[in-house]
Structure 1
Amino acid sequence: MAQVSRFTCDEASALDPARIVVLYAQLGDVAAEQVISTAMEDIAQYLVAVEKAAKAHQCAKMIADPDATITLAEQIGLSSLVLAAQNLQVCIEAHDHIAQAAVLARLMRLADRSLTEVWDLGDLRL
């Protein structure tokens, strides 16, 4: 009989708080909060769309606009989310459905942690 192993996924998100500080310094409190809020909303909407498309097996919709999402994540310092989104894009383009499912799950876990961390850093201002 085969032995089944269970792994827990507990990857910490890579957040660059310096990016948040730079945004506040360059744009001021109100504009920086608007940029961060808009970026987070757009990222969340993309992730919901990707998840729905994956469940419906619609690969074309899954890569509708990952570059914009990657750019937004970079803008607010979500480096692990950027890497996971890029990896998902590679898996989709390669039609590797098993890797795609694994990377999508990773992307969603990182998104939950990363977006929460950005909100928690909301008080970080110069």
Structure 2
Amino acid sequence: MVRITGVMVASVATLTFEEPVRLDRDNLEELYRQLGAAGAENVICRAMEELAVRLSDIAPLYRADRSGELARLARSLVGISSQIGLQTLAHVAEDVSRCALRQDRTALAATLCRLERIGDRSLTAVWDLRDVTS
């Protein structure tokens, strides 16, 4: 509580989450070396589409209390994100999977919020990197 001219006012703190995403450029460069530019672009685009779809499928599974399916979906995010170098996203998706398997609803809610933030920022990071390298 803060006193302003004789009146007690509750102070409100605003928390911002500015967690950086980790993009493994070596992983992407290896894709380009192995598949060539067109092949790597194709893999990256398909992976990003799959990530976007799967990220949007997670919240309904959580609301429906379908922990087993949610854990499997999160595990699939680990594989896809690792393939294109999104290491932070892979780690957070692994955390979500573990929480879902333990059926720890509180931890799952927190890790799902983190997954959403990191997922959005990760997809943006890949698009931004593609814009720079194109």
CA contact (8 A) 1:17 1:121 kept: no
Point out the more displaced range, 52-61 or 73-82. Answer: 52-61
Q: 2:74 aligns with which of 53, 66, 72?
A: 66
CA separation in 2, counterparts of 1:6 and 1:96?
27
Uncovered stretches (5+) of structure 1, i.e. residues with no partner: none
Report what 2:43 is aligned to. 35
Q: TM-score, normalised by structure 2?
A: 0.83
CA separation in 2, counterparts of 1:66 and 1:104?
10
CA contact (8 A) 1:15 1:80 kept: yes
Q: TM-score, normalised by structure 1?
A: 0.87
CA separation in 2, counterparts of 1:95 and 1:71?
22
Identity %: 36
User: Which of these two proteins has the greater Rg computed from alpha carbons?
Assistant: 2
Report what 1:121 is aligned to. 129
Specify which structure has the higher proportion of strand: 2
Matched residues, number: 125
Q: CA RMSD in A?
A: 2.1
Are residues 1:91 and 2:119 paired? Answer: no
The amino acid of 1:86's aligned partner reads E
CA separation in 2, counterparts of 1:26 and 1:124?
17
CA separation in 1, counterparts of 2:71 and 2:104?
14
Of structures 1 and 2, the one with the larger relative CO (CA 8 A, separation 6+) is 1
Divergent runs of 4+, >4 A: 3-6
